[in-house]
Chains A and B, each alone.
Chain A
Amino acid sequence: MWEYTDTVKDHFFNPRNAGAMNDANAVGEVGSLSCGDALKLMLKVNPETEIIEDAKFQTFGCGSAIASSSALTELVIGKTIDEARKLTNQDIAEFLGGLPPEKMHCSVMGQEALTAAVAAYKGEELDEDDHEEGALICKCFGVDAGMIERAIRNNKLTTLEMVTFYTKAGGGCNSCREPLEELLADTNKAMVAEGLIKAEEAFIFGSAPAPKKEKTVKGFVIPDTPVAAPTGPAQPSAPVQIAMPAAPAAAPAAVAVAPAPAPAPAAAPATGLSPAKEAILVARLIEEMRPTFKRDGGDVELFDIEGNIVMVHLTGACSGCQLATQTLGGIQKIISEALGRPVRVIPVAKT
């Protein structure tokens, strides 16, 4: 069954502040019987100080829903309404020492109940319900079908690789590949029907190229010599990989040993841009990608460019986590495509 932390177990078996509160002056109710999760959060707020003096919950839900509710009450007691409304579901999950990805929605429910209670206290209208979830598709990153579908629609995604780049789904063990392919194919099909994308752009189930098994040379160490841009028809997009596109197939053996000069080194950048113009282009590309990272609580900034190496600062949620690798792969691909030559993106520490 689930791997719950000891804190989760403790808050489930010995819930704090469970039960009804008759003199609550702020109540937030979310969920429903049909979704199998429901939470009623009751707060007693001191009208003068706006401090939450007491909190109680009633929860219909699994072990982690009850534990999340219990944690929520512990987190808000003693805080002012304004402090409390800054709490996020991450705070609840962190308080509990983490939740299994499938169970993160329990912490989201806690945050939503709090938002509802605060809104009720302030007499505000609640925003439109954006509480929609679907089946959990990617366990590595806890991404559900609803989120993936939104990303596909909003960004007109038509390749698996871009789905991974936008949602992280599929960026780990890759065992969610089949359901991802299905979801992408189905969503694209619907988008074609709605006239959002052209039929020939749509992803067809099973048409994804096989993952390219490129030989990674000594981990991340990549020859510094410029490598000829792939000639001929545009390469089919391959799953995001951190490895640089290998040298042309003519010299695979040599690559493994040392940075052998490529048969016909393309001295000039493929786009024919001057290094300064390239830098401007790269800077713009990275600027364009920033909002995506910020949505996840992270950020990316261009630091420097040296030949084939693009150095970036990664901060926040992106740095350090598994995702960093993933993220870099995505940036690398976009820049390589724009410049028409392979580059390597590496993270550097901010000094």
Chain B
Amino acid sequence: MKDMTEVTPVYLDNNATTRVWPEVVEAMLPYFSEQFGNASSIHAFGAEVGGALRQARRSLQELIGAEFDHEIIFTSGGTESNNTAIRSALQVQPGRNEVITSAVEHPAILSLVDWLEKHEDVVVHRIGVDKLGRLDIDAYREKLSDKTAVVSFMWANNETGTIFPVDGLAELAHQHGALFHCDAVQAVGKVPIDVKSTDIDMMSMSSHKLHGPKGLGALYLKKGTRFRPLQRGGHQERGRRGGTENAPAIVGLGKAAEMARASMAEDIKRMTALRDKLETGLVASVGHCFVTGDPLDRLPNTSTIAFEYIEGEAILLKLNQAGIAASSGSACTSGSLEPSHVLRAMDIPFTAAHGAIRFSLSRETTEEEIDRVLAVVPEIIAGLRVMSPFWSADGASPENFDPAYA
């Protein structure tokens, strides 16, 4: 957006996408115009490509604690990984036509299962969450059966950061002979993952959420898991995903994975402290707002705060004018008329869901930046509330407003 003022902008929308680290760009560069060959070719133009891809695969393997490097299949992103995993799981288990997932997944799962339900005779169970965004595990147990082909739960929620106990959820799925898929797009690189010690069969990742390039992702496929490719073609990725590898991007993701792993422990500590400072500061200075998600188990970088009686897009525009980039699950920003499906599944009242703002930090976020946010937000919120029909000089007054229709 253009409205940036002269001050250095503060980027707090890292769950949407992240800045590609300069080291990552540097690692990628040789693979555009020097080592541009096809990894499958014999000649020298691609001589180093194969080795670089192997190295990148190993870096990602280490980041997620996979047992073998061939358990990683590179794809075009989290969305493709999700589509591949769910469709494959349905195909390899004839006789099982049910999918269990949660009501708060990313659209890369939800619109897919909507489609499958409507047009491909798949039965879908969407498990709800409580007010803190925690999965209703009893409801999940109830839906598991010998008809379940695949269970898909996300590791961490992109809007609230709430973490699901995927390890235990995967064990439950296996008790019923179902495959378990995990959308870990928001978790990889932010929290420690050791996938080999879990029952997870398939796991989706996306490069651009951890300072790698966009348009690249990966699907972890536990050794021995039956699989059908989504995209057929050449023998790349051992025939599991045809198409010439995006070598520069893969090299970049490898570098990003290495870097994320190297500093993860400190990053978590620092981001958590900054996030907590942001939350306590805003809740104290603004009033009529609250932090959403599970306070005990969520991502260190994500904070979604619901400001009551005002609308999210208006807040974002004002923030943008002040040089602060955040995001909102509000209806108006997304072009739909409904507020975020995640906040609605959490039963957050409409008065607040429309005004929810997500601040998502990265390891680059500094204390000065958080201070800037703390300095400008109270005024922005107050200014918009003065304009709100649900607000009067004495504070919140939703009863003052009695429209001709609702």
Contact = CB atoms under 8 A, between A and B. Distances in A.
A299 interface: no
B224 interface: no
A135 B118 CA distance: 18
Given A36-B332, A38-B390, A60-B390, A129 B398 contact: no
A66 B350 CA distance: 19
A60 B315 CA distance: 11
Interface stretch (B59-67, B208-216, B262-270, B381-389): B381-389
Interface stretch (B152-160, B285-293, B333-341, B361-369): B333-341
Contacts of A35: 337, 406
Interface in B357-406: 386-393, 398, 401-406
Interface residues of B, number: 40
Given A29-B404, A33-B398, A36-B354, A19 B311 contact: no
A29 B402 CA distance: 7
A62 B313 contact: yes
A66 B335 CA distance: 16
B317 A40 contact: no
A231 interface: no
Given A33-B390, A63-B317, A133-B337, A40 B401 contact: yes
Nearest to B1: A1
A133 B338 CA distance: 11
Contact of A19 (B118, B313, B354, B386): B386
Interface in B310-341: 310-314, 316-318, 321, 330-333, 335-337, 339
Given A33-B390, A36-B332, A38-B390, A60 B310 contact: yes
Contact of A58 (B332, B387, B406): B387
A102 interface: yes
B404 A28 contact: yes
A12 B404 contact: no
A12 B311 contact: no
A34 B391 CA distance: 16
A98 interface: no
A35 B391 CA distance: 17
A206 B118 CA distance: 12
Q: Which of B3, B309, B316, B388 has the most A CB atoms < 10 Å from its CB?
A: B388
B43 interface: no
Query: Which applies to chain A's interface (DSSP): helix, strand, loop or mixed?
Result: mixed
19 contacts: A12-B314, A19-B387, A30-B405, A33-B350, A33-B398, A35-B406, A36-B337, A38-B389, A40-B389, A58-B391, A60-B311, A60-B390, A62-B332, A63-B313, A129-B404, A136-B335, A136-B336, A205-B119, A206-B119
A192 interface: no
B208 to A, nearest CB: 18
A39 interface: yes
Given A36-B354, A129-B404, A13 B337 contact: no
A29 B399 CA distance: 13
Interface in A1-30: 1, 9, 12-13, 15, 18-20, 28-30
A131 B350 contact: no
Interface residues of A, number: 46
Q: Which of A33, A35, A37, A131 has the most B CB atoms < 10 Å from its CB?
A: A33
Contact of A18 (B310, B321, B351, B386): B386
Contact of B403 (A31, A57, A62, A105): A31
A192 to B, nearest CB: 17
Nearest to B402: A29
B35 to A, nearest CB: 38
A159 interface: no
A310 interface: no
A39 B389 contact: yes
A65 interface: yes
A204 to B, nearest CB: 11
B398 to A, nearest CB: 7
A78 interface: no
Interface string A202-216: 000110000000000
Nearest to A15: B387
Contact of B314 (A9, A66, A133): A66
A32 interface: yes
Which 7 pairs between the two chains have the least Cβ-Cβ distance?
A: A62-B332, A32-B406, A62-B313, A58-B389, A40-B389, A129-B405, A29-B403
Contacts of B316: 1
B306 to A, nearest CB: 13
Contacts of A38: 389-390, 401, 403
Q: Which of A34, A36, A39 has the most B CB atoms < 10 Å from its CB?
A: A36
Interface in A160-217: 182, 205-206
A237 B132 CA distance: 52
Contacts of B333: 1, 62
A345 interface: no
A104 to B, nearest CB: 12
Given A15-B387, A36-B354, A40-B401, A60 B337 contact: no
A28 B393 CA distance: 20
A206 B388 CA distance: 46
A36 B330 contact: yes
Contacts of B403: 29-32, 38, 40
Given A58-B387, A62-B312, 4 more contacts: A12-B317, A20-B393, A33-B398, A38-B389
Interface in A213-255: none
A273 interface: no
A18 B387 contact: yes
Contacts of B310: 60
Q: Which of B312, B389, B392 has the most A CB atoms < 10 Å from its CB?
A: B389
A129 B398 CA distance: 21
Contacts of A15: 387
B388 A58 contact: yes
Q: Which of B337, B350, B393 has the most A CB atoms < 10 Å from its CB?
A: B337
A270 B404 CA distance: 57
Q: Which of B388, B391, B404 has the most A CB atoms < 10 Å from its CB?
A: B404
A298 interface: no
A55 interface: no
Nearest to A29: B403
Given A1-B1, A33-B398, A59 B339 contact: no
Contacts of A18: 386-387
A112 B1 CA distance: 32
Contacts of A58: 387-389, 391
A348 interface: no
A63 B404 contact: no
A61 interface: yes
A12 B311 CA distance: 13
A126 interface: yes
Contacts of A148: none
Nearest to B403: A29
A346 B392 CA distance: 58
